[in-house]
Amino acid sequence: MDICLWDLRKKELVCLRDGSKLGYVDDVLIDMDTKAVKALIVRGRLRLFGLLGREPDLLIPWDEIGVIGNDALLIKEVPCEQRFF
Residue 67: CATH number of its domain: 2.30.30.240
What does the pLDDT look like over 6-22, one tens digit per residue?
888 888 999 888 888 88
Number of domains observed in the structure of the chain:
1
Query: In this structure, are residues 11 and 4 in contact, taking their beta carbons and an 8 Å threshold?
Result: no
pLDDT of residue 30: 92
What does the pLDDT look like over 18-41, one tens digit per residue?
888 888 999 999 999 999 999 999
β-bridge mates for residue 18, sequence order = none
pLDDT of residue 31: 93
Supply the range of the domain harboring residue 80: 5-84
- Pairwise pLDDT comparison (85 vs 50), residue with the higher score: 50
